[in-house]
Structure 1
Amino acid sequence: MKKILHILASPRGADSQSSKLAAAYLAAEKAANPDLTVDVLDLWQADLPEFDGDKAAAKMTFFGVGEMDASTQSAWDQIVSITERFTAADTYVLSVPMWNGGVPYKLKQYIDIITQPGLLFGFDPEAGYSGLLENKAARVFYTSGVYGPGASAKYGADHHSTYLSWWLDFIGVSDIKTVRFQPSLLTADPIGAQKAAVQQAADLAAS
């Protein structure tokens, strides 16, 4: 049975443009695959722990720095539990608005919690980093109010899709498809552009 993890990075609820795109995609996927399971992770409602000293110390043991003790092991077990929910999915659906040229801080916090050695990536001094995920897909829905691909620098820069594309590749996800509604405020026909983006999201499921 195919399982999707929908990661909501916007706090705007029903007003979120990125969530509307993801919803259109998921509705089309469910229509085509009735047995589909969707796990919704709302980062603004989730109990995301701080990546504190014990967690950082636990991570560094994988690089030969220090040793696990009861405190660091407990911290690591918490990370593993959160990450297992992520790795259990076959497809990741991310609805991601642009914040200050990048991703919302809740998404960055989540990424920093789960992107750990031995869980999502491996490391070899000679070969470098390697992603540990296999046969995973990602469908990413990007929105922004002002920035758009190819826009003048006065409208901002994209550390948004570039960062997420890098991260997904870093952990081993190569099947990545995206839909953009950028910009959502300065486009000449915002209602028409929004409808077109929603349709594109739905069509992505069919493709």
Structure 2
Amino acid sequence: MTRILHINASPRGPNSQSAQLANAYLDTRSQREAALEVDTLSLWEEELPEFDGDKNAAKLSFFGVGEMDAAGKSAWDQVVDVTQRFIAADEYVFNIPMWNGGIPYKLKHYIDVITQPGLLFGFEPERGYFGLLENKTAHVFYSSGVFAPGADKKYGEDFHSAYMNWWFGLVGIEKVLTTRHQPSILTATPAEDLGKAIERARAAA
């Protein structure tokens, strides 16, 4: 059985174009693979723990800064609970709209909670950072209203996929596949373009 964690980073429900791409991909996969299990994490519906001072202190204790006290241990347990759901998946599907050149803040919050030493990454002074995940695959569905790869900078820049690619490398996800629907607004044929993007998503499955 293959377990996919679908991380929906859009708050737009059925109107989300990035989610429509991800769902087309997952529906096609599900039709072809009877043993597929899909766990959907909708970040706007999830109550994520705040990454507060206790959690930060617990994290820093892994780098030799202070010791983890009872408050830190309790805070760290919350982080571990959220992160284990991520680690348990074999594959990841992300749908990510571009917000102000980057990723939505709810996704950044989630990443900040789960990206922890000893869970998703390790660190050694000489070696630097290294990922702890192995044999994982991510398929990412990106959308943006105006930005498009290769477009003039007056239409924006990509701190969107660039950030995600850096993060995938940090945690050890080496196989990353992308499907883009960019731009979705600055086009003469938006409905047709969305349809083509959905077909690309199905083909990727």
TM-score range, shorter chain: over 0.9
Counterpart-to-counterpart distance in 2, 1:29 and 1:174: 21
Name 2:142's counterpart in structure 1.
142
- 1:90-169 residue pairs with structure 2 within 5 A? 90-169=90-169
How far did 1:93 drift?
0.3
How far did 1:49 drift?
1.2
How far did 1:34 drift?
1.2
1:191 and 2:194 aligned: no
Counterpart-to-counterpart distance in 1, 2:182 and 2:63: 40
How far did 1:136 drift?
0.3
Name 1:58's counterpart in structure 2.
58
Residue type of the alignment partner of 2:103: V
Name 1:67's counterpart in structure 2.
67
SS in structure 2 opposite 1:64?
coil
SS in structure 1 opposite 2:130?
strand
Report Cα offsets for 1:58-82 as digits up to 9, x if no partner: 0000000001111000000100000
Counterpart-to-counterpart distance in 2, 1:32 and 1:39: 17
Name 1:174's counterpart in structure 2.
174
Counterpart-to-counterpart distance in 1, 2:40 and 2:76: 24
Report Cα offsets for 1:123-144 as digits up to 9, x if no partner: 0011101000000000000000
How far did 1:187 drift?
1.7
Can you give the 5+ residue segments of structure 1 that lack an aligned partner in the other structure?
none
Report Cα offsets for 1:147-191 as digits up to 9, x if no partner: 000111111110000000110111000111000000000122211
Name 1:48's counterpart in structure 2.
48
SS in structure 2 opposite 1:82?
helix
Counterpart-to-counterpart distance in 1, 2:19 and 2:124: 38
TM-score, normalisation: structure 2: 0.99
TM-score, normalisation: structure 1: 0.98
Counterpart-to-counterpart distance in 2, 1:68 and 1:159: 34
Identity within the alignment, %: 60
Which aligned segments of 4 or more residues in structure 1 are displaced greater than 2 angstroms?
Answer: none
Q: CA RMSD in A?
A: 0.5
Name 1:34's counterpart in structure 2.
34
How far did 1:99 drift?
0.1
Residue type of the alignment partner of 1:85: R
Name 2:80's counterpart in structure 1.
80
Counterpart-to-counterpart distance in 2, 1:197 and 1:124: 42
Residue type of the alignment partner of 2:136: K
Counterpart-to-counterpart distance in 2, 1:197 and 1:92: 19
How far did 1:193 drift?
1.0
SS in structure 1 opposite 2:176?
strand
Can you give the 5+ residue segments of structure 2 that lack an aligned partner in the other structure?
none
Residue type of the alignment partner of 1:125: P
